[in-house]
Amino acid sequence: MKKNIPSLILTFFLLFLWQAIAMSINAAYILPSPLQILAKLWELREILIFVHLPATMSVTFLGLFISILLGIFLAILMDASPKIENALYPLIIASQTIPTTAIAPLFVLWFGYTIWSKVLVTILITFFPITITVYDGLKSTKREMEELLLTYGATKKDIFIKLKLPTALPAFFSAIKMAIPMSIIGAAIAEWLGAQSGLGYFSKRMMTQLDGAGVFAPVVLLSFVAMVSVAIVSMIEKKLITWRKEI
């Protein structure tokens, strides 16, 4: 708990400052106070948690799952062959130059208001950090260790499973912890631009009604879910990578 005290103090200070500014402005449709947001969150708890949150989370986890599979697959391909790396790497970089707000309406046009139009936006945002981080993790394997295993008669498969995969595990978990908030942001953006349910859709609807607290309430809920998800991944990481502290 001691290491979290500075963070808690800073958080409470910022919330107090936010509350004071919001009270001085006295315009909840522009800047609602934290207390007003919490009150709205409690008032709308049933429709947010049981209706719109499952819709957003289904998009988030499906998009994240596909991004993990795609990212790992591309990282392994690029690590296996320099020619494949030279062919794929520029395309992967180029995919991140596409403005999400520009391409998302096209996905809605192609797939309608189905889940796949939103999942594609999530994949477009999240697969890049997973691919690049896992690829860098695979490339960080020490050449001396590879040569040592080769002298022991190890095959490329042995080197990949027993050396490269364990070396890339920390990078993989770092990528997942980065991708979780980004996947939630991607799902919310997709719902904001075109959806019939979800926290992003609900926030947009509240905005049209000039309900500032209603706009912030889904955002607070999404932030809480993202922090809990990252904390769970961090716990799994500590359980699996027990040798990290020895480095």
Q: What pLDDT is attached to residue 244?
A: 61
Chain segment 112-163, per-residue pLDDT in tens: 778 888 888 899 889 888 999 999 988 888 888 888 888 888 888 888 888 8
Percent of the chain with pLDDT over 90: 26
Residue environment code for 46-61, b if the CB has 16+ CB neighbours within 10 A, otherwise e = eebeeebbebbbbbbb
Instruction: For residue 222, report the phi and psi dihedrals to the nearest 5 degrees.
Output: -65, -40
Residue 98 has pLDDT above 70, yes or no: yes
Chain segment 37-80, per-residue pLDDT in tens: 999 999 988 898 998 899 999 999 999 999 999 999 999 999 88
User: How many CB atoms within 10 Å of residue 198?
Assistant: 27
pTM for the full predicted model: 0.84
Q: How many residues does the chain have?
A: 247
